[in-house]
């Protein structure tokens, strides 16, 4: 008795499945292996990172950190001496910043 699913779609599907089975199973793997030496050649040299810690400008040592703290204390002292002037300055800066955005 002939199969009931003889539609063109079923026939095409079965044909594709037969073609896929007849192909080598590891076609993609073989293609990748063939390109491997060219895409990732072995290096004869080793890369190394410089032993230094960076540029002098990038370093923030204890002295620079203490200078930053002293500057912060100086700003805080000036704000405490003149709170109204500091408030007006902050409001003006905020207004200008808000208007330009």
The two tokens of residue 72 are 């912060």
Phi, psi dihedral angles at 40 (to 5 degrees): -145, 75
Residue 98 to residue 29: CA distance in whole angstroms: 59
pLDDT-above-70 percentage for the chain? 57
Query: How much is the pTM?
Result: 0.34
Residue corresponding to tokens 């200078």: 67
Confidence check: pLDDT of 58 > 70: no
Q: Give the mean pLDDT of the chain.
A: 77
Q: What is the pLDDT of residue 1?
A: 43
pLDDT band at 80 (very low <50, low <70, confident <90, very high): very high
Residue 18 to residue 46: CA distance in whole angstroms: 49
């Amino acid at each position: 008795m002939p199969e009931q699913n003889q539609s063109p779609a079923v026939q095409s599907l079965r044909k594709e499945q037969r073609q896929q089975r007849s192909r080598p199973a590891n076609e993609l793997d073989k293609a990748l292996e063939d390109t491997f030496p060219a895409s990732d050649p072995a290096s004869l040299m080793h890369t190394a990172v410089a032993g230094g810690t960076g540029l002098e400008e990038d370093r923030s040592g204890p002295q620079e950190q203490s200078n930053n703290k002293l500057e912060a204390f100086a700003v805080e002292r000036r704000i405490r001496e003149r709170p109204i002037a500091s408030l007006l300055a902050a409001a003006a800066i905020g207004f200008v910043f808000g208007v330009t955005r």
